[in-house]
């Protein structure tokens, strides 16, 4: 596992280590005792008969009661950790998380959004309010020892308080389709000053429309579309703009600005021949600047 990045991660590792050592010692006692008695009381003669052995009340009580105490101790330890995981601080920074095939989107209270990267301040409790737009996903942060299913039609929550600045990997731990392994994100932990500056800045400040489109492509589209004519989950974008596109119903359409915009906001309106209707809608997730940036970026792919 990666280094422990929260206090809760240290507590989880302590419980996990106890379970490993308890299991190892129990295994050695059982297997070692079995081996020892098998050798010590091995029959030396075919006619040798086993001695009459009565039960031992004290021994039978101990080998039941001691494991019972261990199991109840582990239960209490685990319950305390679970309570800490679910008891969220009132002053936590709230971030809305949306999962969809195959991308994570983060929205802050001031409306700032990011895709594929969540920026948070160090030593600040953070509460995630999560939902899925399509299928069940699972938000997993190994360095924080936390994992929570993200379910369509309801909200699930998770909280943590990172101790150190740095970048931490996020995985989807619930199989969610063909590109499940590519549903990755980063949690970037920075100082409070850096976070305040980031939160108030325009992420596309100083970028041309083509550069905006390339940035959106790199975070939202790269899993399903490439920049060649090669097929992934969706069609490649090379030489797309201005050319005829054959659709699943046998008709054709010119890939102009309106076609690209419609394909982003209502992808099932016109299905390209040879591809399943697998693309989710990005309506409400991309603003006009991002959509126009993608259009301008696609125009350059010749």
* Buried/exposed code over 194-205 (b: 16+ C-beta within 10 A; e: otherwise): ebeebeeeeebe
Domain-wise residue ranges, the chain: 93-200, 209-299
Residue 172, Cβ neighbours under 10 Å: how many?
A: 25
**Cα 295 to Cα 193, 253, 260, 262, 281, distances in angstroms:** 35, 16, 7, 11, 16
Note whether 200 and 277 are within 8 A (CB).
Answer: no
Which pLDDT score, from 0 to 100, does residue 152 have? 87
Which pLDDT score, from 0 to 100, does residue 89 have? 86
Which pLDDT score, from 0 to 100, does residue 265 have? 87
Average pLDDT over the chain, rounded to an integer: 87
Which pLDDT score, from 0 to 100, does residue 32 have? 94
> Does the global pTM surpass 0.75?
no
Give dist(CA 270, CA 245) in Å, integer.
Answer: 10
Helices marked H in the chain — which ranges?
A: 7-40, 57-86, 192-200, 209-216, 257-265, 288-299
Which pLDDT score, from 0 to 100, does residue 98 have? 87
Which pLDDT score, from 0 to 100, does residue 204 have? 76
3-state secondary structure of 296: helix
Fold match between domain 93-200 and domain 209-299: no
Q: Of 193, 221, 216, whose CA–CA distance to 203 is shortest?
A: 216
Architecture of the domain made up of 93-200: Sandwich (2.60)
Structure confidence by residue, pLDDT tens digits, 94-129:
888 888 888 888 888 877 788 888 999 999 999 998
Does the domain at 209-299 match CATH 1.10.760.10? Answer given as yes
Note whether 176 and 137 are within 8 A (CB).
Answer: yes
Note whether 184 and 46 are within 8 A (CB).
Answer: no
Which regions of the chain are under pLDDT 50?
Answer: none
């Amino acid at each position: 596992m990666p280094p422990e990045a929260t206090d809760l991660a240290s507590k989880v590792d302590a419980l996990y280590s106890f379970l490993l050592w308890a299991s190892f010692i129990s295994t050695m006692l059982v297997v070692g005792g079995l081996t020892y008695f098998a050798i010590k009381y091995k029959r030396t003669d075919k006619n040798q008969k086993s001695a009459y052995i009565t039960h031992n009340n004290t021994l039978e009580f101990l080998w039941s009661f001691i494991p019972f105490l261990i199991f109840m101790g582990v239960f209490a330890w685990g319950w305390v950790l679970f309570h800490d995981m679910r008891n969220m601080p009132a002053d936590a920074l709230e971030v809305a998380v949306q999962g969809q095939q195959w991308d994570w989107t983060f929205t802050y209270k001031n409306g700032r959004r990011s895709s594929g990267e969540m920026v948070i301040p160090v030593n600040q409790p953070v509460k995630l309010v999560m939902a899925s737009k399509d299928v069940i996903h699972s938000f997993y942060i190994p360095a924080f020892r936390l994992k929570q299913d993200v379910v369509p039609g309801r909200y699930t929550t998770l909280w943590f308080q990172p101790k150190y600045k740095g970048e931490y990997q996020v995985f989807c731990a619930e199989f969610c389709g063909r590109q499940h392994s590519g549903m990755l994100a980063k949690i970037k932990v920075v100082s409070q000053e850096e976070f305040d500056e980031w939160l108030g800045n325009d992420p596309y400040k100083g970028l041309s429309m083509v550069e905006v489109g390339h940035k959106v492509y790199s975070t939202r589209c790269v899993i399903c579309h490439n920049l060649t004519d090669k097929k992934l989950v969706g069609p490649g974008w090379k030489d797309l703009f201005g050319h005829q596109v054959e659709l699943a119903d046998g008709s054709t359409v010119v890939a102009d600005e309106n076609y690209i915009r419609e394909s982003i906001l209502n992808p099932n309106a016109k299905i390209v021949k040879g591809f399943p209707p697998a693309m989710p809608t990005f309506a409400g997730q991309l603003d006009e600047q991002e959509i126009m940036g993608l259009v301008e970026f696609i125009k350059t792919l010749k």
